[in-house]
Amino acid sequence: MTEFWKSGERHFCTFCKCWLAGNKISIDLHESGNHHKSMVKAKLETLRKANIEKERQEKQLSNTLGKMERAANESFRRDMASNSMIQSNNSPTSSDSNLPSKLKRPANQAVQVQCKKAKFVIKTPTPKIVYEPLTTPLEPETKHEEEEEQQQQPRTQEDNDNETKFHEEQIKDLAEQIKNFEDNDNHEEQIRDLAEQIKNLEEEEEEEEEEVITTNHTDQEGIWYESKTDNQESFYWNDTTGESIWTPPPKYLSIKQQKEKGLKV
Same domain for 149 and 36, yes or no, is no
Assess whether 153 and 259 both reside in one domain. no
201 assigned to some structural domain: yes
Q: Do both 240 and 111 map to the same domain? A: yes
Give the total number of structural domains in the chain: 3
Residue 25 has pLDDT above 80, yes or no: yes
Residue numbers of the domain that contains 50 = 10-69
Q: Flag whether 149 is in a domain.
A: yes
Domain with residue 118: its CATH number is 2.20.70
More confident residue, 211 or 44: 44
Long-range contacts of 110-119 (CB under 8 A, 24+ apart): 111/227, 111/237, 111/242, 111/244, 113/227, 113/228, 113/229, 114/230, 115/228, 115/230, 116/230
Q: Within a domain: residue 77?
A: no
Whole-number pLDDT of residue 128: 58
Residues 215 and 236 in one domain: no
Angle made by CA atoms 141, 144, 147, in degrees to the nearest 5: 155
Tell me, yes or no, whether 90 lies in a domain: no
pLDDT at 212 (0 to 100): 52
Q: Are residues 208 and 145 in the same domain?
A: yes
At 153-179, the pLDDT tens digits run 555 556 656 666 776 777 777 677 666
pLDDT in tens, 45-83: 999 999 999 999 999 999 999 999 999 999 999 998 888
Q: Does the residue 15 lie in any domain? A: yes
Q: In angstroms, rounded to a whole number, what is the distance separating the alpha carbons of residues 92 and 218?
A: 28
Pair (207, 158) in one structural domain = yes
Whether residue 190 is found in the same domain as residue 63: no
**pLDDT grade, residue 34 (50/70/90)?**
very high
